[in-house]
């Protein structure tokens, strides 16, 4: 590691120094703290986010990415994505305030929530945010009254029956209702400029994108017939954020590109957008969480096979975080996260049937069960990978702030890749000696990167 400032929350690392190495240093420091208090924390590899953006630009060159703030509103993520030129998709007033506070212009913000509060619509109107979504008459009427200058995007329903997270039961207008809604908007003097959809997260069939793009083409034609100037197609999200997903991002991109060539060919005058959350942040965040309590439960009547085995004992561990906090992703994704042991057990060490629970005293705060783990102790650390989506900054959904500390890391190579993309070439200067600061406020020296503490609480 090139260097670390404990007050900074940003670490510059050399190639070969992994997130796991940094976690080991931080957990060791937390365990040795004089106060004896330990708290869960994240390590975020911002270089992974930069690499995801380069991959996106290569695979979907015609699509302009917008980041879904509700997925992870940590300030380090927002600042890096802002540097990369992304727009931002906001679900409420708190998120709009947050991105505007870091300098995002209103023209790069979408208020993409079909269930908007009137006060939030008025905030968008006052602060120049004009692109809003809708999928029903009531939402259209609310915007027409509180933000008559808005440019509306009609959200259509999709076939997301095979997705892990289905949205069409709540959001999206059916094709049968679209002509009526477009006509209603015309009578209300509201401008409809485009169509959006969301196939849901974890969709195993990339052809769902192709079908939704075809449906959007039909709605474009309806709108044009009714006198709307349709020029925005929003592909929504649902893109995988981890390696090893059932459907790779490159496969989805190939299907999308083919469908766009067929229904919205290059030069047709339509601006193609997408609202991505998980894609950028899931794999970038790793969580370290402490075991705060344990309980051994023995079988009342063990079988003869169990009497002389370890199967007769089940161990219940309590963590300092549960499904009502950081692990709410368990509820979002209906998944059971598998921990990585910070201390590697010996090969002779037996494993026990184990379950992980949060600190809440109820039967719902179960993080994971059915695990086989070696004997753990109070104070041991567990590490969870792929924890960037719907874990950090969830308080923004309710106007709150994320309290869990995030330590951001970026390799020097990723930093240089980001800097070269953003700054004009300066052939007279040696990048090893002179590194210009980025507008986010981070500045690298020869040995370490220093900057402000980037936590949402610091700007609320």
Domain chopping of the chain, boundaries: 112-277, 286-388
pLDDT of 46 above 50: yes
Strands 63-68 and 271-276: parallel
Q: Which residue has the higher pLDDT, 246 or 264?
A: 264
Average pLDDT of the residues in 289-315 = 73
pLDDT of 399 above 50: no
pLDDT of 216 above 50: yes
Name all contacts of 239-243 with Cβ < 8 Å and 24+ positions apart. Answer: 239/274, 239/276, 239/278, 239/279, 240/202, 240/278, 240/279, 241/277, 241/278, 241/279, 241/280, 241/281, 241/282, 241/283, 241/386, 241/388, 241/389, 242/282, 242/283, 242/386, 243/283
CB 231 within 8 A of CB 271: yes
Would you state the pLDDT for residue 161?
58
Average pLDDT of the residues in 233-246 = 88
For 354-396, how does the pLDDT look when each residue is reduced to its tens digit (9 = 90+)? Answer: 999 999 888 889 999 999 999 999 999 999 999 999 888 654 4
Would you state the pLDDT for residue 427?
46
Average pLDDT of the residues in 142-150 = 98
Would you state the pLDDT for residue 434?
32
- φ, ψ of residue 433 to 5 degrees: the values are -100, -35
Q: Of 188-202, 397-411, 422-436, where does the model show the most confidence?
A: 188-202
Would you state the pLDDT for residue 18?
73
Would you state the pLDDT for residue 81?
96
Categorize the per-residue pLDDT at 311 as very low, low, confident or very high, splitting at 50, 70 and 90: low
pLDDT of 455 above 50: no
pLDDT of 337 above 70: yes
Would you state the pLDDT for residue 166?
52
Positions marked catalytic: 70, 198, 275
CATH class (in words) of the domain with range 112-277 = alpha beta
Name all contacts of 342-351 with Cβ < 8 Å and 24+ positions apart. Answer: 342/23, 342/24, 342/27, 342/288, 342/380, 342/381, 342/382, 342/383, 343/380, 343/381, 345/374, 349/374, 349/375, 350/310, 350/374, 350/375, 351/310
For domain 286-388, give the CATH superfamily: Lyase, Ornithine Decarboxylase; Chain A, domain 1 (2.40.37.10)
The token pair at 245 is: 């997903």
Would you state the pLDDT for residue 446?
31
Q: Which residue has the higher pLDDT, 254 or 25?
A: 254
- What distance, in Å, lies between the first and last C-alpha atoms of the chain? 32
Would you state the pLDDT for residue 393?
66
Q: What average pLDDT does the chain have?
A: 82
Q: pTM of the prediction?
A: 0.85
Would you state the pLDDT for residue 32?
61
pLDDT of 274 above 80: yes
CB atoms within 10 A of CB 405: 15
Average pLDDT of the residues in 289-305 = 78
């Amino acid at each position: 590691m090139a260097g670390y400032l404990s007050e900074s929350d940003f670490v510059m690392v050399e190639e070969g120094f992994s997130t796991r190495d940094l976690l080991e240093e931080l957990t060791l420091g937390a365990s040795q703290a004089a106060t004896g208090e330990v708290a869960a924390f994240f390590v975020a590899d911002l270089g992974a986010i930069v690499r995801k953006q380069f991959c996106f630009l290569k695979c979907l060159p015609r699509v302009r990415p917008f980041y879904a703030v509700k997925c992870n509103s940590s300030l380090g993520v927002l600042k890096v994505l802002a540097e990369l030129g992304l727009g931002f998709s906001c679900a409420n007033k708190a998120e709009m305030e947050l991105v505007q506070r870091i300098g995002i212009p209103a023209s790069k913000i979408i208020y993409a929530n079909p269930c908007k509060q009137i006060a939030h619509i008025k905030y968008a109107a006052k602060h120049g945010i004009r692109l809003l979504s809708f999928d029903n008459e009531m939402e259209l009427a609310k915007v027409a009254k509180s933000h008559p200058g808005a440019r509306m995007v009609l959200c259509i329903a999709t076939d997301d029956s095979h997705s892990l997270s289905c949205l069409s039961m709540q959001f999206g207008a059916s094709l049968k209702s679209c002509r009526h809604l477009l006509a209603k908007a015309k009578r209300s003097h509201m401008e409809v400029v485009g169509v959006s959809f969301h196939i849901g997260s974890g969709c195993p069939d990339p052809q769902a994108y192709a079908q939704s793009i075809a449906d959007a083409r039909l709605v474009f034609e309806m709108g044009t017939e009714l006198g709307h100037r349709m020029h925005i197609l929003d592909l929504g999200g649902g893109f995988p954020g981890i390696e090893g997903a059932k459907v790779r991002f490159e496969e989805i991109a190939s299907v999308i590109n083919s469908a766009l060539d067929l229904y919205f060919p290059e030069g047709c005058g339509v601006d193609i957008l997408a609202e991505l959350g998980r894609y950028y942040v899931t794999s970038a965040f790793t969580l370290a969480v402490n075991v705060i309590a344990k309980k051994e439960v023995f079988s009342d009547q063990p079988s003869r096979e169990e009497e002389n085995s370890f199967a007769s004992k089940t161990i219940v561990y309590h963590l300092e975080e549960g499904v009502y906090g950081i692990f709410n992703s368990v509820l979002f994704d209906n998944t059971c996260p598998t921990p990585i042991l910070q201390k590697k057990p010996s090969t002779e060490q037996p494993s026990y049937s184990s379950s992980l629970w949060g600190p809440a005293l109820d039967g719902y705060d179960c993080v994971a069960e059915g695990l086989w783990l070696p004997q753990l102790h109070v104070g041991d650390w567990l590490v969870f990978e792929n924890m960037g989506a719907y874990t950090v900054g969830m308080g923004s959904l309710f106007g709150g702030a994320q309290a869990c500390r995030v330590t951001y890391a970026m390799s020097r190579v990723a930093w240089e890749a980001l800097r070269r993309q953003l700054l004009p070439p300066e052939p007279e200067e040696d990048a090893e000696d002179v590194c210009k600061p980025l507008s986010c406020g981070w500045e690298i020296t020869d040995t370490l990167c220093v900057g402000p503490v980037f936590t949402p609480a610091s700007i609320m």
